[in-house]
């Protein structure tokens, strides 16, 4: 599900907090580790399996799809300016990012621009640290791997030169040459042209606009013979235009003669029976850039169980996040017929395979999958358990709500936080009482404070008037923790009350506005101003 600007704002605020901690505390300090973990957890919570967070930036601030993110926030504008001067114009956070990779990314801010340039740019710095969860400036995984290989090759050459003690010198590159070479290496490759078999192309041109059934049938037989020949030669890419043509002609909505549509379907199915053709289509469906993805996905779905079995194998083994996302979306199109296959894969010994299947169950969103999800929650890997809690949020039912409420008693704080977030996504008022207790709890430990934050946000998302009493208590509380932390909670409560709305919620915000300052004042004022504009 697409993220809203407020989600991007929350992530950047946590990112900025982590940067400040990075500047103040030495590596390994508990406060720094907590800040990094909080930011990392929030990113993963906001992203679905295989999804990405993409930010663009300028000297003025951050943007998402050209929409400014918190343009009034001076701290975020300052962070954007620092990254911009270090030649970061956009960055993409993938679902596979680790807390360690996040720390390496934040270290960029501490390195002076001149030093970054001397080290080959920000891309080279992250590549040298094997960071794959952050892609900078339109880089792709292929570019990252190539750059890393180049760096390793250069390092190996240096070591070899040291060992051989070669006393020769090479002319240094002129200023700008090295940068230009890097740009050539990282630039987008030209669009790959589809290979064309001239004989097949000629047949396809003839059959494209043929309206006579007998002539169409004759031409389709000749196309079929040519395609089978190409399949035997392993020239699968050259068969694709024929598959696409028959797929397009198979739809009765095109206005073609129903008999011609039937012939087109028969020819298409003859090709799809071949497992090599099916595997080729699945690989194409997973490409990052694929102009015919929708048609290819429908061809795959036509093959039913045979396609599902192969698709899940490729999905589980896929290395690239974009590939997994595209194949995941293809798998969802099968709907409930895919469930028996998922149930078998849930018994896999590899945690990531099980997690993928759990995510699919959540995306399908049928209550009949709750038994499978609850059984899988017994899995020993916390990542699988967390995915179960995320998937529960997509299946609105009393059973899902009750399961998530019970998960609030988990000893692992990450699971508790996910259960809170999922209850918010379900928007079931039945969870308000439990979430209210967490939101009003008093505990000075950082982990418990994170649960408190999530509970406040969840109450706002649920949006029921029964949450107002809990949120108002937090907003009106003058001192709970340290002043800064207390003000953060109050600002969150004000924002949540604004989401709930209603007379009592706005009265509480108005009561606090006059005596507040800083972020709390800005939050209250923004909410009240927004109410007046709507009115």
Total domains in the chain come to 2
Spatial neighbors of 361 by CB under 8 A, at least 6 apart, are: 339, 342, 369, 372, 373, 391
As to burial, measured by CB atoms within 10 angstroms (0-12 exposed, 13-18 middle, 19+ buried), residue 84 is middle
**Of 112, 130, 155, the domain-final residue:** 155
For position 190, what pLDDT does the model report?
Answer: 42
User: Containing domain of residue 111, as a range?
Assistant: 5-155
**Of 98, 125, 155, the domain-final residue:** 155
Tell me the per-residue pLDDT of 55-112, one tens digit each, with 9 for 90 and over: 888 878 888 888 888 888 888 888 888 888 778 888 888 888 888 888 888 888 877 7
Grouping H, G, I as helix, E, B as strand and the rest as coil, residue 380 is: coil
The verdict on residue 315 lying in a domain is no
| pLDDT at residue 35 greater than cutoff 90 | no
Summarize the confidence of residues 418-436 as an average pLDDT: 95
The verdict on residue 128 lying in a domain is yes
Contact 240, 254 (CB under 8 A): no
The verdict on residue 88 lying in a domain is yes
The verdict on residue 492 lying in a domain is yes
Tell me the per-residue pLDDT of 292-318, one tens digit each, with 9 for 90 and over: 999 999 999 999 999 999 999 999 999
Q: What is the CATH number of the domain that holds 499?
A: 1.25.10.10
What sign results for the dihedral spanned by CA atoms 490, 492, 498, 503?
negative
Spatial neighbors of 355 by CB under 8 A, at least 6 apart, are: 49, 381, 383, 384, 387
CA angle in degrees (0–180, nearest 5) for 441-444-447: 85
**Of 110, 131, 155, the domain-final residue:** 155
Report the alpha-carbon distance of residue 413 to residue 396 in Å, rounded: 24
The verdict on residue 479 lying in a domain is yes
Question: Where is average pLDDT lowest: 225-239, 240-254, 267-281, 470-484?
Answer: 470-484
The verdict on residue 266 lying in a domain is no
The verdict on residue 52 lying in a domain is yes
């Amino acid at each position: 599900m697409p993220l809203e600007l407020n989600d991007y704002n929350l992530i950047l605020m946590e990112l900025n907090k982590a940067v400040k901690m990075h500047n103040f505390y030495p590596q390994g300090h508990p406060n720094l580790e907590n800040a990094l973990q909080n930011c990392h957890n929030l990113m993963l919570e906001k992203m679905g399996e295989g999804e990405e967070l993409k930010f663009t930036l300028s000297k003025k601030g951050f943007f998402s799809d050209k929409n400014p993110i918190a343009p009034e926030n001076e701290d975020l504008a300052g962070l954007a300016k620092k990254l911009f001067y270090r030649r970061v114009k956009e960055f993409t956070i993938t679902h596979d990012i680790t807390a360690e990779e996040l720390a390496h990314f934040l270290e960029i801010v501490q390195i002076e621009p001149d030093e970054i340039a001397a080290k080959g740019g920000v891309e080279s710095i992250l590549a040298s640290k094997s960071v794959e969860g952050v892609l900078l400036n339109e880089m792709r995984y292929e570019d990252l791997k190539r750059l890393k290989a180049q760096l390793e090759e250069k390092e190996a050459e240096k070591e070899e030169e040291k060992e051989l003690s070669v006393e020769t010198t090479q002319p240094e590159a002129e200023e700008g040459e090295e940068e230009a070479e890097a740009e050539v290496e990282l630039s987008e490759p030209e669009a790959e042209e589809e290979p064309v078999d001239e004989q097949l192309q000629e047949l396809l041109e003839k059959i494209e606009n043929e309206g006579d059934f007998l002539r169409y049938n004759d031409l389709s037989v000749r196309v079929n013979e040519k395609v089978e020949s190409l399949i035997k030669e392993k020239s699968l890419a050259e068969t694709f235009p024929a598959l696409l043509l028959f797929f397009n002609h198979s739809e009765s909505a095109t206005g073609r003669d129903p008999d011609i549509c039937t012939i087109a379907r028969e020819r298409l199915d003859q090709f799809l029976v071949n497992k090599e053709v099916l595997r080729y289509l699945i690989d194409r469906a997973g490409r990052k850039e694929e102009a015919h993805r929708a048609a290819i996905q429908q061809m795959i779905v036509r093959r039913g169980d045979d396609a599902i079995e192969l698709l899940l194998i490729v999905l589980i083994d896929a290395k690239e996040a974009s590939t997994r996302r595209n194949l995941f979306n293809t798998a969802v199109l099968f709907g409930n017929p895919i469930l028996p296959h998922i149930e078998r894969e849930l018994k896999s010994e590899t945690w990531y395979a099980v997690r993928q299947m759990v995510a699919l169950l959540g995306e399908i969103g049928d209550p009949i999958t709750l038994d499978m999800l609850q059984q899988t929650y017994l899995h020993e890997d916390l990542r699988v358990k967390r995915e179960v809690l995320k998937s529960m949020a997509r299946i609105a039912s009393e059973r899902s709500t009750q399961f998530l409420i019970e998960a609030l008693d988990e000893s692992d704080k990450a699971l508790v936080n996910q259960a809170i977030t999922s209850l918010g996504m379900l928007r079931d008022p039945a969870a308000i009482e439990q979430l209210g207790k967490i939101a009003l709890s008093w505990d000075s430990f950082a982990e418990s404070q994170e649960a408190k934050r999530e509970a406040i946000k969840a109450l706002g998302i649920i949006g029921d008037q029964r949450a107002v009493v809990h949120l108002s208590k937090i907003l009106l509380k003058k001192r709970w923790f340290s002043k800064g932390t207390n003000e953060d909670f109050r600002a969150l409560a004000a924002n949540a009350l604004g989401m709930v709305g209603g007379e009592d919620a706005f009265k509480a915000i108005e009561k606090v506005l006059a005596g507040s300052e800083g972020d709390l004042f800005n939050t209250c004022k923004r909410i009240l101003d927004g109410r007046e504009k709507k009115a």
